[in-house]
Amino acid sequence: MKHIKRWGINLTLAVFFCAMPAVCQAEEAISQDIYQWVQSTARQSYYFNKQVMHYGVDAEGFIDLDVLVIPTLHQYDSIQKEDVITKRRWKGLPIKGYDGLYGSADFVIINMRDGTVQVKEHEELDSNWGILSTMKSDATTSLVSLSDKSVDKKFYQSIIDYANTHQEELISHTKGLLRRSDKKKLDAIKKAKAKEEVRKNGGQMRRYGVSDTWKMGDKNDK
């Protein structure tokens, strides 16, 4: 069960209901408390782990707010499963255990500064969430190069949008130091949002700043 802990997959024995019946024929349901559903196509459903996703950390140990590290999950329908098996046969790759193929899990890095996505590791999973195969890669894809109609682009953009509205949450998931300059920027953004909220709702101003519990860098950091 090592892979379940790694990817943060929390499954409950229940019927999985969603808008795409062809995709949602799984024996187990994916916890909505851990995984964020983004979209479903005719062949698979797309999720990312919102409890594990975090920011990158640079060589000095500081949090990089422009880099996202995300475990993702893809749930296949029967046609997608058969397509994966067929392609492995064509390539002469082993298909032992693939009669129980369930989907795949990816380890994704999104660099918002460069506008690139890197799938560092791709694992295909069986119905018991065992790892059937693993593929590693250092290749990067430019988000700009993807069509606006691209399913992958929509998926990655949804992850970025989530990160931009859950910054404190992601910081709490990240094992690194927050630069004082970044804290000031985040405080300014949150105060501006708070003022806009007051303007719209006519409510009272509330304390609205980045948590003081984050580990901070040296006062001289940039």
* pTM, 2 dp: 0.78
Residues 116 and 206 in one domain: no
Interval 82-124: pLDDT, tens: 999 999 999 999 999 999 999 999 999 999 999 999 999 999 9
176: left (phi over 0), alpha (psi -120 to 50) or beta: beta
For the chain, how many structural domains are there in total? Answer: 2
Helices (H) and strands (E) in the chain, counts: 5, 10
Show which of 134, 157, 173 is a domain's final residue: 173
Q: Provide the percentage of residues in the chain whose pLDDT is more than 70.
A: 77
Same domain, 91 and 134: yes
Which range marks the domain in which residue 209 is found? 178-222
Instruction: Indicate whether 92 and 30 sit together in one domain.
Output: yes
In terms of domains, do 29 and 137 share one? Answer: yes
Whose CA is closest to 179, among 130, 221, 137? 221
Instruction: Extract the tokens encoding 94.
Output: 């082993």
How does pLDDT run across 45-75, given as a tens digit for each residue? 999 999 999 999 999 999 999 999 999 999 9
Indicate if 51 and 69 belong to the same structural domain. Answer: yes
The region, left, alpha or beta by phi > 0 then psi within -120 to 50, assigned to residue 177 is beta
- Considering the domain architecture, whether residues 205 and 166 belong to the same structural domain is answered as no
